[in-house]
A and B are shown apart, each in its own frame.
Chain A
Amino acid sequence: MARWSPPRNGGGGHDFDFKKKRKVEEIYQALNSDPIDVAALRRMAISEGGLLMDEIRCKVWPKLLSVNTDDLPPLPGKELREDNKDYQQVLLDVRRSLRRFPPGMPDDQREGLQEELIDIILHVLKRNPQLHYYQGYHDIVVTFLLVVGDRLATALVEKLSTHHLRDFMDPTMDNTKHILNYLMPIIDQVNPEVHDFMQSAEVGTIFALSWLITWFGHVLSDFRHVVRLYDFFLACHPLMPIYFAAVIVLHRQQEVLDCECDMASVHHLLSQIPQDLPYESLISKAGDLFVQFPPSKLAREAAQQQAERTAASTFKDFELASVQQRPDTVLRQRFGEQPRGEERTKSILTKPRTNRFVKLAVMGLTVALGAAALAVVKSALEWAPKFELQIFP
């Protein structure tokens, strides 16, 4: 396996302080460990600053999505555009997506990227006929394109689309609506007054629709904030964006309460997302909320619908599948070769989900990373017990 070393000058920023430097080292350590320490990478993606640089994201995002970068599918040809039912809509949306590209970028370069963007979207849709294009999907894909380039973006987006974004890509938006239904119960748990105010204004939840289905890519104009959030969301449960949406509303609770109590005013206020949000503290709060009020607790309050088809539930499969499909199949091979090792592992995994692991997590992580990291640890324990050994080596 190739060893990666940290970039010399850490991306060139002079404010690249000691803390960041140390984090970069830790990330590379996790990448270079054998097997790759995905759990540590998840923690890094969540904790302050996220993955810090696009260079790192190129390496870590595939791990978070369990995509094998050694075996990328070939890029599609132009025939994709010929008989694709979504082509027209994709074209219209991508043409209008100028704001997603860095302002200084020369037109021809941007136009080239826009063509690539169209191809990636059509490619993923063609390979997955069960997926349906929605306006806003292009805002997600462009983020991957700009960070990792077209080839890798195609693979990452395909994985994301069949997991985290799966619900948004149903033939109808019923499941998306269902996920939006989690928003008010979360707000209610933290600040019933805000909740009641919003209910009596009958504001609904559509103000948060574009936040949710674009992972905020549509509404934040600073690309650095967008990728920071993507680090966070890629490392977390697929419902995390809705917790983050709730945290934004709660962050503005005073403004909300000062607003006229009618649909238009509240919708207007909330849909204008402030561009100077304190992202790091909001991320950590979203993590806290997730731990305090996990989706299972809220599920009853969100409209009762069978959860089977939601991304939230496929996440479990995804995590488990991730373990099995890990590009570095070393772990499995080793288990295969050494049955005794495997047995030993099993005994650890089945019986004692010992407090020791959890306590270690609580103590170690709250101190080091803030409570947000707990969400991921908890998630990892809940959804992918096989990760336990890797989380706490």
Chain B
Amino acid sequence: MMAAAADLESSLELSLTGSGALPGGLPPARSRIFKIIVIGDSNVGKTCLTYRFCAGRFPQRTEATIGVDFRERAVTIDGERIKIQLWDTAGQERFRKSMVQHYYRNVHAVVFVYDMTNIASFHSLPSWIEECKQHLLANDIPRILVGNKCDLRSAIQVPTDLAQKFADTHSMPLFETSAKNPNDNDHVEAIFMTLAHKLKSHKPLMLSQPPDHDEIRIKPEPKPAMTCWC
């Protein structure tokens, strides 16, 4: 058998290492760090989205994520250097239960991802949200909902209004995007940057919001009924 010599160019990890240290950054210890966990079903594009944000392009190929992968990128917001750490998790259900918990600790924000061309991945969201609630101590950490693969127009299964309704029910902003679309260069970037801005405007240390108008919602809500979307 011929050796499958690593095609280094397409190796996710190597190119990420390169992009990890952006030039001109302050020593890492100085920057504030925002930890964001990215969750959702297998194949919705979590790896592609995080890669796109951290490396600036759609990866040529991805592989199934086993366990948890880590990517980071340094950004500047209002003159402050901030490190955004993305924890890209495995989508297969068996990994969530016992493996991923560890990574929910101390996260500052959660990104839920579904695949706009796969209604099942949308239907899984309530269980992801539920799971997230169980692992997170704070109830008020910022969460956003991302519908991915909007470039596959003819294959869309999750209509925007449906997704919007769901997002509203859970008080999350909704973004429909594509990790792939080359014409839409800044969109994925904008999503994560929006989140980073939101985090920055939180209290610097804990990054947790004092209870505000959302207070009523902090009580555990009844599970959203699946039927309302079907």
Contact = CB atoms under 8 A, between A and B. Distances in A.
Given A96-B63, A134-B92, A177 B4 contact: no
Contacts, number: 110
Interface stretch (A30-38, A188-196, A205-213): A205-213
Contacts of A104: 2
Q: Which of B1, B42, B85, B99 has the most CB of A within 10 A?
A: B1
B180 to A, nearest CB: 14
Interface stretch (B66-74, B143-151, B152-160, B182-190): B66-74
Nearest to B12: A99
B61 A98 contact: yes
Nearest to A101: B4
A309 B6 CA distance: 37
Interface in A153-210: 171-174, 176-177, 204, 206-207, 209-210
A260 interface: yes
Contacts of A99: 4, 7, 10, 61, 63
A272 interface: yes
B1 A223 contact: yes
Contact of A206 (B1, B17, B62, B102): B102
Interface in B45-66: 61-66
B83 to A, nearest CB: 9
B195 to A, nearest CB: 17
Given A89-B92, A102-B1, A221-B11, A209 B99 contact: yes
B29 interface: yes
B2 A102 contact: yes
A213 B66 contact: yes
Contacts of B102: 204, 206
A134 B65 CA distance: 11
Interface string B1-23: 11111111011010001001000
Contacts of B20: 268
A221 B2 CA distance: 12
A17 B125 CA distance: 59
B218 to A, nearest CB: 28
Contacts of B3: 102, 222-224
Given A92-B42, A102-B1, A218-B63, A173 B90 contact: no
B6 A222 contact: yes
B153 to A, nearest CB: 22
B169 interface: no
Interface in A91-129: 92-93, 96-104
B106 to A, nearest CB: 8
B70 to A, nearest CB: 5
B94 A264 contact: no
Contact of B42 (A89, A97, A209, A272): A89
A267 B65 CA distance: 15
Given A101-B4, A227-B1, A264-B85, A210 B67 contact: yes
A184 to B, nearest CB: 14
Given A172-B97, A204-B102, A272-B17, A102 B66 contact: no
A135 interface: yes
A136 B5 contact: no
A49 to B, nearest CB: 15
B43 interface: yes
Interface residues of A, number: 46
A146 interface: yes
Contacts of B99: 173, 177, 206, 209
A224 B5 CA distance: 9
A223 B98 contact: no
Contacts of B10: 99
A135 B64 contact: yes
A59 interface: no
B11 A135 contact: no
A310 interface: no
A127 to B, nearest CB: 20
A271 B64 CA distance: 15
B68 A102 contact: no
B35 interface: yes
Contacts of B97: 172-173
Nearest to B72: A264
Contacts of B4: 99-103, 221-223
Contacts of B25: none
B194 to A, nearest CB: 22
B93 to A, nearest CB: 9
B92 A172 contact: no
A305 interface: no
Contacts of A47: none
A223 B66 CA distance: 19
Given A173-B94, A173-B98, A221-B11, A92 B1 contact: no
A134 B66 CA distance: 9
Interface in A210-234: 210, 213-214, 218, 221-224, 227
A207 to B, nearest CB: 8
Report the 8 A-B pairs with minimum CB-CB distance, sorted nearest first.
Answer: A221-B6, A210-B66, A209-B67, A223-B4, A135-B64, A206-B67, A93-B64, A136-B66
Given A98-B61, A146-B1, A174-B98, 13 more contacts: A92-B42, A103-B5, A134-B94, A134-B95, A135-B92, A172-B97, A207-B67, A218-B66, A221-B4, A264-B33, A267-B68, A268-B72, A271-B13
10 contacts: A99-B63, A103-B4, A104-B2, A135-B64, A172-B97, A177-B98, A177-B99, A209-B99, A210-B66, A227-B1
